[in-house]
Amino acid sequence: MKITMSQPKIILNIIKVIHEKLEIVSEKDKLISIAIWDFSDNGKISKTDIRNGLRKLAEDEKLFHLEDDVSLYLQGWIPDEEIKIGINHKRFKEFYKEHFQELKPPTGKIEFLDEESALKLGDKKCALPPYRSEHYFCRIVFEYPVGEAIDWSTIAEKMDMLREDVKGTERNKRSLYDTVRAINKRVKEVLGIDELFIWEGNTIKRIQ
């Protein structure tokens, strides 16, 4: 089973950590120990997600086998707890060389393509429903610099001026929240980034 971007942060971090470990141990070491915390991206990835990611790579890709995974089932973080992995160095390095570049999320500046109703990052495009809330939301918010807080009511008022099908109605905060959530979900699935827009009180920011 080929690895996809459905779990970019988890899978990428596991591959990266194991690769770095293999760089400092001998190829004669068929059993390596890695601190579970190292897989967590400083606590941003849960132990459950780490466990599922390791099992996916072990069972689906056959990259290694878990010798001692009891710690992965314990609640909370325990100082210096480790997972033991039995690994074929050659197999893992071949996989890393073949797949890692395509697993890396695109980097660079996110662009909004108004005529295409799409967000672009690198060579990837995330299509949005044309002439609908997501499209108009991005048209408005991308007029502001990254990091600038915009009052939600300002965005809602401008969107209502653009949307013919909502003339005479008042867009509420909840509908705007749903629009932001839908866009963030879409860009995470297609572009592999966690968030593009965030709420702070009554304001919205573009963070990338």
Q: What is the pLDDT of residue 5?
A: 40
Instruction: Give domain limits for the chain.
Output: 8-103, 111-206
- Do domains 8-103 and 111-206 share one topology? The answer is yes
Q: Residue 54: count other Cβ atoms within 10 Å of its Cβ.
A: 24
pLDDT tens column, 24-77: 888 888 888 888 888 888 888 888 888 888 888 888 878 888 876 666 666 666
CA 142/CA 31 separation, integer angstroms: 50
Dihedral sign, Cα of residue 197, residue 113, residue 119, residue 172: positive
Q: What is the pLDDT of residue 109?
A: 85
Q: What pTM, to 2 d.p., does this model score?
A: 0.53
The CATH architecture that domain 111-206 belongs to is Orthogonal Bundle (1.10)
| 8-103 is a CATH 2.40.128 domain | no
Q: Which of 92, 34, 42, 97 is nearest to 63 (CA)?
A: 92
Q: pLDDT under 50 in the chain at which residues? A: 1-6, 167-169
Question: In DSSP terms, which residues pair with 88 in a beta bridge?
Answer: none
CA 31/CA 84 separation, integer angstroms: 7
The mean predicted confidence, pLDDT, of the chain is 82
Q: What is the pLDDT of residue 106?
A: 62
Strand 150-151 to 82-87 pairing: unpaired
Q: Residue 189 has what DSSP assignment? A: H
Q: What is the pLDDT of residue 168?
A: 44
Contact between residue 114 and residue 139 where contact means Cβ atoms under 8 Å apart: yes
Q: What is the pLDDT of residue 70?
A: 65
